[in-house]
């Protein structure tokens, strides 16, 4: 395990060889499955298991992502002794869509994500053979996982959140955003249309991305969408934005209901989610006697939003923090 971890800081030096060799061989060992979510939407997932592993990490991805993107993270955690399960949320990845335009990021109710995750947990995780169960949630997946734990605070032994979506960075004043979103609800064609400034998926050059400083990982992730068009999801609908805002408010309102040990990783150069909401969430938990690990967000210096797809140096800091945190809760 130590030898595996030692390679985290220098993987980009020979990234192509790694992805074409060990990572491809690992990915071929996957088991894919499906369950039926809310309103009959098919929900896809993937698992990696090994005889003797008595701990599992359930990965809850962010908006527009697919488990296909998480192969490298699954590889690293698997080689630290964890079985891995990853869900594709409704409306993205290989799961079913709700609108004819499959590029629109949409959900009817944010709670549908949570209901799907709860069903996935009951079917694939709660009944499994593991001694310990952990959750790793990124961005939107962090909000989904946190809302799940508000319902079932004893479901897992510990949770790590990477840049969770407890608030969204907006270009307009909050009052104006709320007015626009409330107005859009009255016009179905607007409500279910792309939010202003967004549209169908398209490949953006690395130079303008605000997700990662890692050119290698950014290019690899773009190739997934280029090679498998059904994975493509573009901008969110107005209704999705509204549901996302309300979900963040619900997370904060129920912050003290989540007593599960929690590590919250925050990107220093965040431009997607609102870091102030992370700070507030940690303050609320601490005041209630359930502080996050370290009492506040663990800031990954220099990182953009996708911490676990960052350059090796930043990614390694985050990955070590997560694995060490899970190990402390054996």
pLDDT tens string 47-72 = 999 999 999 999 999 999 999 999 99
pLDDT at residue 196, rounded to an integer: 87
Mean pLDDT of 307-319: 98
Nearest to 263 by CA among 157, 169, 132: 157
Name the β-bridge partners of 47.
31, 85
Compute CA distances 310 → 159, 213, 263, 317, whole Å. 21, 6, 18, 10
State whether residue 179 is helix, strand or coil: helix
CATH of the domain at 107: 3.40.50.1820
pLDDT tens string 130-151 = 999 999 999 999 999 999 999 9
Kindly tell me if the per-residue pLDDT of 2 is higher than 80. Answer: no
Mean pLDDT of 265-277: 98
Q: For the chain, give the mean pLDDT.
A: 96
- State both tokens at 130: 């593991």
pLDDT at residue 171, rounded to an integer: 84
* Global pTM value: 0.97
* CA–CA distance, 133 with 130 (Å, rounded to integer): 7
**pLDDT class for 3, splitting at 50, 70, 90?**
low
* CA–CA distance, 77 with 322 (Å, rounded to integer): 10
pLDDT tens string 176-224 = 999 999 999 999 999 999 998 899 999 999 999 999 999 999 999 999 9
**pLDDT class for 330, splitting at 50, 70, 90?**
confident
- State both tokens at 57: 């990490």
Q: Which residue has the higher pLDDT, 2 or 125?
A: 125
State whether residue 1 is helix, strand or coil: coil
pLDDT at residue 1, rounded to an integer: 62
Per the CB < 8 A criterion, the answer to whether 217 and 312 are in contact is no
* CA–CA distance, 65 with 327 (Å, rounded to integer): 27
Q: How many domains does the chain have?
A: 1
* CA–CA distance, 322 with 137 (Å, rounded to integer): 11
pLDDT tens string 84-130 = 999 999 999 999 999 999 999 999 999 999 999 999 999 999 999 99
pLDDT at residue 22, rounded to an integer: 97
Domain that holds residue 123: 2-327
What strands, in cross-sheet order, belong to the sheet with 262-267?
31-36, 42-48, 83-87, 55-60, 132-138, 158-162, 262-267, 298-300
**Environment class of residue 258 by beta-carbon count within 10 Å: exposed (0-12), middle (13-18) or buried (19+)?**
buried
Nearest to 12 by CA among 324, 323, 317, 315: 315
């Amino acid at each position: 395990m130590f030898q595996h971890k030692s390679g985290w800081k220098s993987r980009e030096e020979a990234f192509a060889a790694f992805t074409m060799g060990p990572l491809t061989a690992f990915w071929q060992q996957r088991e894919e499955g499906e369950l039926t979510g809310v309103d009959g939407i098919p929900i896809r997932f993937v698992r990696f298991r090994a005889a003797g592993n008595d701990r599992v990490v359930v990965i809850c991805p962010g908006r527009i992502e697919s488990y296909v993107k998480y192969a490298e993270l699954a590889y690293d955690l698997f080689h630290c002794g964890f079985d891995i399960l990853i869900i594709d949320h409704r409306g993205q990845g290989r799961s079913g869509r709700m609108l004819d335009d499959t590029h629109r990021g949409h959900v009817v109710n944010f709670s549908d994500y949570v209901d799907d995750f709860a069903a996935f947990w009951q079917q694939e995780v709660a009944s499994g053979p593991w001694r310990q169960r952990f959750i790793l949630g990124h961005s939107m997946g962090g909000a989904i996982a946190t809302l799940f734990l508000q319902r079932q605070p004893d479901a897992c032994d510990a949770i790590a959140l990477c840049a969770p979506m407890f608030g969204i960075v907006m270009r307009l004043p909050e009052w104006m955003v709320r007015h626009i979103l409330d107005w859009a609800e009255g016009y179905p064609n607007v409500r279910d249309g792309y939010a202003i400034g967004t549209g169908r998926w398209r490949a953006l050059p690395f130079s303008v991305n605000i997700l990662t400083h890692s050119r290698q990982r950014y290019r690899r992730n773009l190739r997934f969408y280029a090679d498998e068009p059904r994975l493509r999801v573009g901008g969110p609908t107005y209704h999705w934005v509204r549901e996302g805002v309300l979900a963040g408010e619900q997370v904060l309102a129920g912050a003290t209901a989540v007593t599960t040990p929690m590590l919250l990783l925050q990107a220093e150069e965040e431009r997607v989610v609102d870091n102030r909401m992370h700070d507030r969430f940690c303050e609320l938990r601490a005041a209630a006697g359930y502080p996050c690990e370290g009492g506040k967000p663990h800031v990954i210096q220099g990182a953009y939003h996708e911490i676990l797809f960052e350059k090796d140096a930043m990614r390694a800091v985050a990955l070590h923090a997560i694995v060490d945190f899970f190990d402390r809760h054996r």
